[in-house]
Structure 1
Amino acid sequence: MPTALKTRAAAIAAVVAIAVGGALLTATPASAVGSSSCNWTWAYAQDMKTNTAVNLRNGPSTSYYSKGILSKGTRFKEYCNKDFNWSYGKVLTGANAGKWGWVYSSYLDFYIA
């Protein structure tokens, strides 16, 4: 194989590796934490709403990445929580509707329709 062709093949392989690696970096990491981190579960899921703009996180701490910002007034269905500090549930309204994640509990109020 000529040297120019080898160089081009190596460059293409590097671009593909970077593209695949980039795609893998955007996938949900194995460290994602779901309801298994809860240590208290509601008998019936609670309707909540955010009282300020807040991050929807991948786990129950600020060390987990943000899955999106929930604006003030976003409805959130809380299923369980960790130490009454972090709430796990599903976003019901807004740009992140349908996503599951963690919200710091102080930024949630009960929603009464």
Structure 2
Amino acid sequence: MTLRLQRTPKPRAAPAGGASRRRPEPSPFHTSRPRPSPRTFVLDLNLPGLDGYGVLSHLRSRPATANIPVIVLTAKGDEDNEVRVFELGADDFLTKPFRARALSARLEAVLGRRR
């Protein structure tokens, strides 16, 4: 299996002694240009701006992404967070630290269920 990661760019720091004149880069979820559909999402709950719960809700509410599998990967490993992500429509939940083989097996499993 080939795993290709896409990260949201981090905002650039302001120069010393002054405010940055550049606007922060838009999130990939808020751009309007067409992109190929991913086969799955691996989502962390700790994100800048909109948290992972909001991103998950957004993905599930849009027809274009509602049926794409989502694996939540997070340090928030308590039962309340696990139950909440499943209630919001996540397909799997994995806590940090994790092993690459475990993530790979979970990706294969969710992708296999969607075929």
Shorter-normalised TM range = under 0.3
> Which of the two has greater strand per residue?
1
Q: With structure 1 as the length reference, what TM-score do the two structures score? A: 0.24
Structure of larger gyration radius: 1
> Which of the two has greater helix per residue?
2
